[in-house]
Amino acid sequence: MSLIEFLLRNRQEVVELTLEHLFLVAVSTGVAILIGVPLGILLTRKPNLSKPVLGFANIMQTVPSLALFGFLIPINLYLFHVRILGGIGARTAIVALVLYALLPIIRNTFTGINGVDPAIREAGRGMGMTDRQLLFQVELPLALGVILAGVRVATVICVGTATIAAAIDAGGLGRYIFRGLRMNDNVLILAGAVPAALIALAADIVLGYAERVIRVGNAIKIGFGKILWASAGAIGVLAIAGFIVFSSGKTSDRIAVGSKDFTEQIILGELLAQAMEAKTDMKVERRFDLGGSLAHEALVAGEIDAYVEYSGTALLAILKGRPSADPQDVYRRVKSEYANRFKLEWMEPLGFNNTFAILVRGEDARRLGLKTISDAAKLSAQWRAGFGQDFMSRQDGYPGFVRTYGFHFAETREMDLSLTYRALAEHQVDLIAGNSTDGLISRYGFVQLTDDRGYFPPYDAVPVVRQATLDKYPRLRDILRSLGRILTVEEMRKLNYAVDGEHREVRDVVREFLKRKGFME
């Protein structure tokens, strides 16, 4: 399917995502202007502050967006009963975008005002202008072109960064990009990236034009003050409206189900959601696609009520516990630690173990007779390996893996997990660490090598729920219990393949599955 075909067929969704994207950008740029311009002005009045403030803004720009999201989600800050900080969704995305957009706006306001000809400033002072009059009648109008240039840079940054907002369920065109990466689908990636690039380009052109007009000087001769106040007012209204819309968050009579940002997680999230919908008349909100460990943080923060976690991940990545190869032992430890530490309850395991799968191309496995990871280790000196960021950094990942099996790769590449499959298929790497339930494994004909030394801990998929939610809706406990042991690895792999390989809708795939299991009619 070509990109144009896709965009036409899904035009309603494309428009919706584009509007979400524009809204994110407009609100965050607006808030950044409301904060950045006055701050820039303050710096021209108190030059001592300029170093720390600009330094802070500089540092904010270098913080990776996922890390920033991670810091922001657990924060709980209310102003007049409106939550202004923390949680998942657009609110946190906007706060992060504002932090990114601040630097160019502060810096350009500061340099724009300082760049006003001292003779002109002195003429103004000599004519008896107060500091305020000098600022609004002379300095700001003359600095406006430079300030606008800063706004332009900030806007373009926001358009680009807003694609990452999809990682915390804030919507926007990033959804297509993440979905495309996950499903290895170039058309989907482009369906997100091309409109985003067009928005950036359009914003750049429009603001560049405004900047030129103002530099020429005609636009402000009639009541600069009026224009300034009018635009400040418009921005303010937009910003406040945006915050109120997004601050409403999860309403009390709903259950919010979350998921991490890969296909299996979305299927499992949908599974929980449909099971709840089938057995109760509660409204279930889906807050899927949360990147990194954001789902856990959102659960602890009460932004979501449940999601499916893997026992090994919880033990090692979240609890930082001692590794163990015994599934029962891992499950018991995680269950009690979560209850004590986070007031979260581990339900019945869903029945499959999604462990790391060390994968090679089928042709290589046949040609070289590879069965176990140890077989591959002997040949690794001529091999290139590709691993996701997750595998490279986690405790049960790369370092222990190469040590246990004695791997010495010719080259190790770190890339996005979803890209490793393609890299293996296209002979750019020779060995990757995928997920054992991944539908793409059969699509590409990869072979999973046996973990003959028992290095990887068990990763049993288990729904995790807030205790407070279970107390409030006791029926949930029975519903989730009935999901125990519902899935085998093969079944999970099939569901994954139905979505990733056959491009079917998650909703339909899950519904069919639950029907087949007799969960609903």
Partner 1 sequence: MDSEKSIEFNHVSFSLPDGRALLSDLTLEVHRGETLVLLGRSGSGKTTTMKLINRLIDPTEGEVKVDGKSTLEWDPIRLRRRIGYVIQEVGLFPHLSVEENIGVVPRLEGWETDRIKDRARALLATVGLDPDRFAARFPAELSGGQRQRVGVARALAADPPVILLDEPFGALDPITRRDIQQEFRMLQERLKKTMVFVTHDVREALLLAHRIGLVKDGRIILLGPPSDLLHSKDPEALAFAACVVDGKLPGSPA
Among residues 185, 165, 184, 181, the alpha carbon closest in space to that of 173 is found at 165
- Which regions of 135-265 does DSSP assign to beta strands (E)? 254-260
Residue 128 in contact with partner 1, rule: CB under 8 A: yes
DSSP per residue over 94-154, as a string?
Answer: HHHHHHHHHHHHHHHHHHHHHTS-HHHHHHHHHTT--HHHIIIIIIHHHHHHHHHHHHHHH
Of 307, 337, 340, which is closest to residue 322 (Cα–Cα)?
337
Residue with Cβ nearer partner 1 (121 or 279): 121
Q: Residue 158 Cβ, how far from partner 1 at the closest point, in Å?
A: 29
Q: Is 449 helix (H, G, I), strand (E, B) or coil?
A: strand
The smaller minimum CB distance to partner 1, of residues 120 and 202, is found at 120
- Cβ count near 248 (within 10 Å): 12
The distance of closest approach from Cβ of residue 147 to partner 1 in the complex, given in angstroms and rounded to an integer, is 14
Helix (H, G, I), strand (E, B) or coil at 505: coil
Residue number, 217 or 406, with CB nearest to partner 1: 217
- Of the residues 59, 120, 206, 468, which one makes contact with partner 1 according to CB under 8 A: 120
The correct pick among 13, 122, 502, 505 for binding partner 1 (CB under 8 A) is: 122
- 123 sits near partner 1 (criterion: CB under 8 A): yes
Among 58, 76, 130, 393, binds partner 1 (CB under 8 A): 130
Query: What is the rounded distance in angstroms from the CA atom of residue 398 to the CA atom of residue 388?
Result: 10
Contact 59, 65 (CB under 8 A): no
Interaction of residue 229 with partner 1, rule CB under 8 A: no
Does 114 bind partner 1 (CB under 8 A)? Our answer is no
Least gap, CB of 124 to partner 1 (angstroms): 7
Tell me: does residue 502 bind partner 1 (CB under 8 A): no
Query: Could you tell me the end-to-end alpha-carbon distance of the chain, in angstroms, rounded to an integer?
Result: 34
Residue 117 interacts with partner 1 (CB under 8 A): yes or no = yes
Give, in degrees to the nearest 5, the angle at Cα 72 between 67 and 76. Answer: 160
Using CB under 8 A, pick the residue from 114, 133, 372, 395 that binds partner 1: 133
Please state, as a whole number, how many other Cβ atoms lie within 10 Å of the Cβ of residue 86.
Answer: 22
Query: Closest Cα partner for 441 from 494, 381, 380, 517?
Result: 494
| 64-72, 125-133, 196-204, 360-368 -> range binding partner 1 (CB under 8 A) | 125-133
Pairing of strands 344-346, 384-388: unpaired
Site string for partner 1, 67-106 (x = CB under 8 A): ----------------------------------------
Work out which of 19, 77, 79, 127 binds partner 1, going by CB under 8 A: 127
Instruction: State yes or no: residue 223 binds partner 1 (CB under 8 A).
Output: no
Q: Which of 138, 147, 177, 276 binds partner 1 (CB under 8 A)?
A: 138
- Site residues (CB under 8 A) for partner 1? 117, 119-120, 122-130, 133, 137-138, 141-142, 217, 220-221, 224
